[in-house]
Chains A and B, each alone.
Chain A
Amino acid sequence: MRGAGREVTGTERGAGVEERAGAYVDVPAVLVGFARALRAAGVEAGPDRVQAFLGALDVLRPGMRSDVYWSGRLTLCGSRDDLERYDRVFAAYFGGAASGGRGMRAAPPPRLRMTVRDAGPAPRAQVEGERDAVPTAVLASSAEVLRHRDFAGLTDAERGQLRRLLAAFALRGELRRTARLRPARRGVVDPRRTVREVLRRGGEPAPPRMRARAERPRRVVLLVDVSGSMAAYADALLRFAHAAAHAGPYGGRARTEVFTIGTRLTRVTRELTHRDPEAAMAAVAAAVPDWRGGTRLGELLRGFLDRWGQRGMARGAVVVVLSDGWERGDPELLAAQMRRLHRLAHRVIWANPRKARPDYAPLAAGMAAALPSVDSFVEGHSLAALERLAAVVRGAGDA
């Protein structure tokens, strides 16, 4: 079926690409259009994925709704977050989410595409789901967001300078020994290299080669509070997170995970993979729906632990919470979740921008509840404080 139009026969009725007034439907075009709508909704369905989709339908029945649904879902999606978007776009594109066996309508030139093109200064609610495809809208909205969230007392030049300085940050987890062995001067005998050496000498004995356990930095998990009370710091802290996610060894990407917490928990690691800080911040601004809301630290922490932390992301990692500890919810829940986090993580560090104030005492209910489960409690209001934070994460300079 690939490449050519295809007549949809009557026997495939009840499921297939419905014939529009008995007309000829260009099936691949419809399917590629569907993939495009998916991309607009934020699913990264690249050309090879689309090809796999068409290839899968080639061996299935392209007229069958369930086959189209499943082969698309299997080939075009790449994560659980994609699935919800996929279902939404599938229903919008092919119509009738819950109807049993009804034909999928050859989409009326999909509305989704329209929203993409005409996005302009779209209302925020619409932008959320469709980040990647709407650069203009994203830039506009992020500029808006950034303008309102910046350090109050800084001039433009100072802010620019701060950004450049933040871009140079490296955040390296404390070192730990791995299972892997690397050539070393001391350690245990490395038979492979020893045998090579012996062979190189034509069988003459050679001094044994050694190998030792390699060291690797621990994973770093940053939880950045973007709620209203942190508005003055969130931008700088996210830029710090961006630099931290990039400057680490091994490209840094796999080692540092970043989440935002506010009224919702949002994973922004992927958004921060843009090398350009501005593009990364724009992507984050579009992905995070809850700037300046309240904080439900306990609940969000539980969400983090249930979905990610317990499965292993927090296990043995250095977890940094960047928050002022203002908790709208139940402090007891926060205390319980912090205890849980503390049991999982190698170290829990709390960076609080308000700690620097001379009259600061951890009286906010959330902060007081969290402190018993925190290994290091540091400041987070200035570049110097962030440098110190980086040192603590590295395992140097204990607080």
Chain B
Amino acid sequence: MGRPSATRTGASRPVAGPPGRRAPGDVRERLEATGYLVDDGLAVACFLALKLRRPIFCEGDAGVGKTSLASALAAALDAPLIRLQCYEGIDASQALYDWDFPRQLLHLRAAEAAGVTDADRLEGELYGRRFLVARPLLRALETQPCVLLVDEIDRADDEFEAFLLELLSEYTVTVPELGTLRAESPPVVVLTSNRTREVHDALKRRCLYHWFDHPGFARELAIVRRRLPGVTARLAEQVTGLVQALRAEDLVKPPGVAETIDWAEALDALGATEVDAELAVATLGSVLKYREDLERARGLDLAALLSVRGA
């Protein structure tokens, strides 16, 4: 992605922001302290998300760290992470709240046995807060502070998107039987999408849009080193170099950072301190998940690739 290189020098400069304001550099440090390395754009995105209370809309290939951003933010803010996994057909009762029917029925029975005849009072009791089961969205509104992860929003239907849009613009929920519940301070929201479907523009407009690229060699190496401190420097370098080379190949599914970490971990578990071509081929299954890709990678001269980077 041809972005101006000026950005690289720009945001990393220490900034003396006005008191009380967290500058992007500060946010970045806090995220990196949790082991999640961010680039300039993501640092600005997180800063703005916290400052303006806007959701971050994350798009990018699988395994580039969209979902783990949410857990990193939660760790950095020392706030609980509430996760909503979207799927086709998800609706408000699965995402927002539901009533605890068995307990309501039980209560009804007990009331009957005790001879209660006042139906109004009974109904009032039945639809009280104690029978309400909070699902992730309602829990996120009630928990302060918290990070809400809405994972794979592109899998949900458009009706759900519209519902989410409403929720994210007001941060209030109306339960007909109870009234309106409002978040005192809105949660930090991270939405992820794998782009199987175009998410409605109205929802995106509410959000900060961030595209996740595969990291370059240096940053990916740093991520591997940070995530797997036990792995030797040489192994981490070799694995990162190999994955970067594989990404340049014409693969069905180019490996993400998650696969790089898996590979290094697998090799480490085998007791390896460095990789040779034979070992690399034997463990390719932890990086490449398609038969076509495996065949293609086996056809490559891995030894040559290793010597380029490993020298």
Contacts and interface: CB of A to CB of B under 8 A. Distances in A.
Interface of A: 15, 44, 46, 48-49, 52, 55-56, 59-61, 64-67, 69-71, 73-75, 77-80, 82-84, 87, 90-91, 96-102, 178-180, 191-192, 194-195, 198-199, 202-203, 214, 216, 250, 253-254, 257, 269-270, 305-306, 308, 310-313, 315, 336, 340
B272 interface: no
Given A198-B105, A254-B158, 15 more contacts: A52-B205, A52-B208, A56-B208, A74-B41, A78-B209, A80-B59, A83-B1, A87-B1, A180-B89, A191-B102, A192-B101, A199-B123, A202-B119, A269-B198, A313-B196
A17 B148 CA distance: 37
A79 B60 CA distance: 10
Given A52-B54, A65-B10, A203-B119, A98 B196 contact: no
B6 A310 contact: no
Give 8 closest A-B pairs by Cβ, nearest first.
A66-B10, A312-B196, A191-B101, A179-B89, A180-B89, A202-B119, A66-B7, A70-B44
B104 A195 contact: yes
B10 A254 contact: no
Nearest to B61: A311
Output the residue of B2, B3, B201 with the most chain A CB within 10 A. Answer: B3
Contacts of B123: 199
B48 A69 contact: no
A46 B194 contact: no
A74 B201 contact: no
A100 B41 contact: no
Given A48-B205, A74-B209, A195-B101, A69 B126 contact: no
B205 A60 contact: no
A214 B104 CA distance: 26
Given A73-B41, A198-B108, A312-B154, A61 B6 contact: no
Contacts of A59: 21, 47-48, 51-52
B276 interface: no
B64 to A, nearest CB: 13
A34 to B, nearest CB: 14
Contact of A61 (B15, B198, B211): B15
A214 B88 CA distance: 12
B122 A199 contact: yes
A179 B52 contact: no
B30 interface: no
B180 interface: no
A199 B252 CA distance: 56
B87 A15 contact: no
Contacts of A55: 52
A312 B156 CA distance: 12
Count chain B CB atoms within 10 A of each CB in A73, A74, A91, A270 and give the residue with the most: A74
A313 B91 CA distance: 21
Given A70-B11, A70-B45, A308 B195 contact: yes
Given A59-B21, A61-B15, A178-B89, A100 B9 contact: yes
A313 B24 contact: no
A88 B9 CA distance: 20
A186 B108 CA distance: 25
A308 B108 CA distance: 51
B40 interface: yes
A90 B104 contact: no
B262 interface: no
A180 B112 CA distance: 33
Among B10, B45, B155, B205, chain A packs the most CB atoms within 10 A around the CB of B10
Contacts of A87: 1-4
Contacts of B91: 180
Contact of A98 (B5, B40, B158, B194): B5
Contact of A310 (B7, B197, B253): B253
B99 interface: yes
16 contacts: A52-B54, A56-B48, A60-B24, A66-B7, A69-B7, A70-B44, A96-B4, A101-B6, A178-B88, A179-B89, A202-B119, A216-B89, A257-B197, A306-B252, A312-B197, A340-B252
B204 interface: yes
Contact of B87 (A56, A66, A179): A179
Nearest to B200: A254
B158 A77 contact: no
B157 interface: yes
Contacts of A101: 6, 9-10
A357 to B, nearest CB: 36
Given A74-B44, A74-B48, A100-B9, A69 B201 contact: no
B281 interface: no
A74 B45 contact: yes
A259 to B, nearest CB: 12
A312 to B, nearest CB: 3
A313 B111 CA distance: 52
B210 interface: yes
Contacts of B52: 52, 55-56, 59
A313 B197 CA distance: 6
Nearest to A88: B2
Contacts of B119: 199, 202-203
Contacts of A60: 24, 44, 47-48
Given A60-B44, A311-B196, A195 B208 contact: no
Interface string B124-164: 00100000000000000000000000000011011000000
Given A80-B59, A101-B10, A90 B195 contact: no
Contact of B194 (A70, A99, A199, A312): A312
B158 to A, nearest CB: 5
Interface string B71-115: 000000000000000011111010000110110110010011000
A46 B206 CA distance: 12
Contacts of B62: 311
Given A70-B44, A87-B2, A179-B87, A78 B211 contact: no
